[in-house]
Amino acid sequence: MSQDAFRLTSPDGKVSDLPVRKGTIGPDVVDISTLYREQGVFTYDPGFVSTGSCASEITFIDGEEGVLMYRGYPVEQLAKHSSFIEVSYLLLHGELPTATQLEEFDRTIRMHTMLNEGMLNFFKGFRYDAHPMAMLSAVVGSMSAYYHDTTNAADAAHRDIFAHRILAKLPTIAAAAYKLNIGQPFMYPRNDLNYCENLLHMFFAVPAEPYEIDEVAAEALDLLFILHADHEQNCSTSTVRMAGSSGANPYSAIAAGISALWGPAHGGANEAVLSMLEEIGDTSQIGKYVAKAKDKNDPFRLMGFGHRVYKNFDPRATIIRKMAHKVLKKLGRKDTPLFDLALELEQVALKDEYFIEKNLYPNVDFYSGIIYRALGIPTSMFTVMFAIGRSVGWTAHWREMITDPSGKISRPRQLYTGSAQRDYLAIDKR
Ligand code: SDX
């Protein structure tokens, strides 16, 4: 047996040498693609806890060491020195842009922020209190009904224009959903503003008076988008890859990712954290809720805690916690009671045996909502903000999947536990 193979011997002695594939860094993988043909068995891994679904060059995570890198660059360095638009270029193209490339990319994004005017009619049909994630997934899915000129995945120019449209238009769609929820008129994007300034303008400006953009708010948003931009094969990214693997048009694949992100176990957690903090109310109730989170018979979980991969601090949570402090102070927001409650809850949980034993640390969602709220963004919009940041990661993974020469449609198998064959029974015999 070669040293780069796992030898598998079946109960009746059949031997398979399964090749080991090595990445640049991180765990090796055992290639089991011949297993069924050789051994007549499937592997079984609900939730894909130990399963690599693809090879990727985009993002690396080390859950034990709390490492997150985009195209090899540590997220801490990108958070400190880069911008969301520059990080978006890096994720999409694999290299940091030159000054000229960045200027061209930034200009392209600014020129694609408007929606086809017909798309605005959707917002006349939604209920005023429709959840923004429902509107985002619906309107992004409708992009395939408008942009027929860029659905040929084999055409590199189409792939680029699709990427530009998703990145540029999501803030505009998000802002239209927000304006519907608060009964204010939609504000058109402005090409003279950068990505985050434009989002703040579309969210908070009104036709009745000039709106002054708060640079601290724009900077905080930019950092949050960098930290949310990508995260390897998480649930929503895997959904985009799977939907795209059938050859479905890319806008529909992104809409599928938005829907997957909405769940409270995933991107919906930031909204759930704020609701949980408000339910806890004050520090005197922390013990009761930590006990509920530990009680096997109680479905309550401490939202914003735990992670499938990070069994140490989520590096994003560390950066966001520091920024939350700075933003609250700079914006002079009175929201510190919630932030103080979050800090105290974190301290109590981190000292608790149950959380220590199960490696449950605050994740990216635990503090991000505090900042969004301090910026005046309502809780219902928090997962939409997550989707805006993650849209570039979804797009980068879709491009990597669709251009993979060995790519094929994703179609997992199963362990069948239903009825053995049985014959149809006439209704008078049942
Ligand atoms: C994101 O995958 C990604 O990369 C996601 C993400 C990204 O950038 O894309 O990082 C973004 O989704 C962050 C996670 C946001 N979700 C939450 O904060 C919701 C609360 N967290 C949990 O639901 C949970 O921790 C998950 C979903 C995040 C992870 O679940 P796993 O990996 O499937 O772990 P598990 O459910 O098997 O939990 C292991 C044990 C269980 O106890 P036992 O059955 O072993 O006795 O830990 C317990 C769980 O009950 N547990 C918790 C808990 N999270 C796990 N107990 C109390 N509170 C929690 N939050």
307 is catalytic: yes
What residue spans of 12-83 are helical by DSSP H?
35-39, 75-81
pLDDT of residue 333: 63
pLDDT of residue 3: 65
**128 vs 152: CA distance, rounded Å:** 36
Asked whether the beta carbons of 175 and 199 are under 8 A apart, the reply is yes
**Three-state DSSP state, 295:** coil
pLDDT of residue 165: 97
pLDDT of residue 325: 84
pLDDT of residue 308: 92
Q: What is the pTM of this model?
A: 0.95
Ligand 1 centre to CA of 59 (Å) is 20
pLDDT of residue 334: 58
pLDDT of residue 327: 86
What share of the chain has pLDDT > 70, as a percent?
A: 98
Ligand 1 centre to CA of 69 (Å) is 21
365 is catalytic: yes
Q: Whose CA is nearest to atom 26 of ligand 1?
A: 307
User: How many CB atoms are closer than 10 A to CB 205?
Assistant: 19
- Asked if residue 2 has pLDDT above 60, the reply is no
User: Among residues 307, 314, 352, 397, which one is catalytic?
Assistant: 307
Ligand 1 centre to CA of 47 (Å) is 12
CA angle 369, 358, 379 (to 5 degrees): 15
Per-residue pLDDT of 156-212, as tens digits, reads 999 999 999 999 999 999 999 999 999 999 999 999 999 999 999 999 999 999 999
**300 vs 372: CA distance, rounded Å:** 24
| 222 pLDDT tier (thresholds 50, 70, 90) | very high
State the helix-helix crossing angle for 215-228 and 382-402, rounded to 10 degrees. Answer: 40
**50 vs 29: CA distance, rounded Å:** 10
- Asked if residue 1 has pLDDT above 70, the reply is no
Both tokens of residue 273? 């954290």
HSE, CB side, 13 Å, CA atoms: give it for residue 139. Answer: 31
Asked whether the beta carbons of 170 and 199 are under 8 A apart, the reply is no
HSE, CB side, 13 Å, CA atoms: give it for residue 222. Answer: 21
Ligand 1 centre to CA of 61 (Å) is 16
The owner of tokens 């949310």 is 228
pLDDT of residue 79: 97
| 149 pLDDT tier (thresholds 50, 70, 90) | confident
Sequence-ordered list of residues with C-beta below 8 angstroms from that of 242, at least 6 positions apart, any chain: 256, 410
Per-residue pLDDT of 327-382, as tens digits, reads 888 877 655 788 889 989 999 988 999 999 999 999 989 999 989 998 999 999 99
- Closest C-alpha to 170, from 131, 197, 143, 194: 143
Radius of gyration of the chain (CA): 23
Residues whose beta carbon lies within 6 Å of some atom of ligand 1: 47, 231, 234-235, 265-267, 269, 293, 301-309, 358, 360, 363-365
**Three-state DSSP state, 116:** coil
- Asked if residue 43 has pLDDT above 90, the reply is yes
- Closest C-alpha to 188, from 289, 119, 265: 119
What share of the chain has pLDDT > 90, as a percent?
A: 89
HSE, CB side, 13 Å, CA atoms: give it for residue 137. Answer: 17
Question: DSSP per residue over 375-399, as a string?
Answer: TT--GGGHHHHHHHHHHHHHHHHHH
